[in-house]
Amino acid sequence: GGNKFINSKPALIMHDATIMNLNVLELAREFEAKKILFASSACVYPKEELLREEMAYPIKPENPYGLQKIFMENTNIIKMIQ
């Protein structure tokens, strides 16, 4: 993708990323997975910040992909499908 593509097609990015995440969660449920490792993205943090591991940063998505990552991290969707 890249930011140019992501920002030019926000609805498509939100749709596709949500479907991909739901597919993973559905398979985890189907196969009775005990745990799911959800990897976030640098897209959820402000671009202008210098990120260091030991510091906490505000969540501020730079594009629709980052927004979708925050949505998946902060909803109870995982609990809803169990």
Count of CB atoms situated within 10 Å of the CB of 68: 23
Residue 68 gets which letter from DSSP? H
User: Which residue in the list 43, 65, 68, 72 is annotated as catalytic?
Assistant: 65
Q: Rounded distance, CA 52 to CA 41, Å?
A: 15
Supply 62's token pair.
């730079």
Residue 45 annotated as catalytic = no
- Positions marked active-site: 65
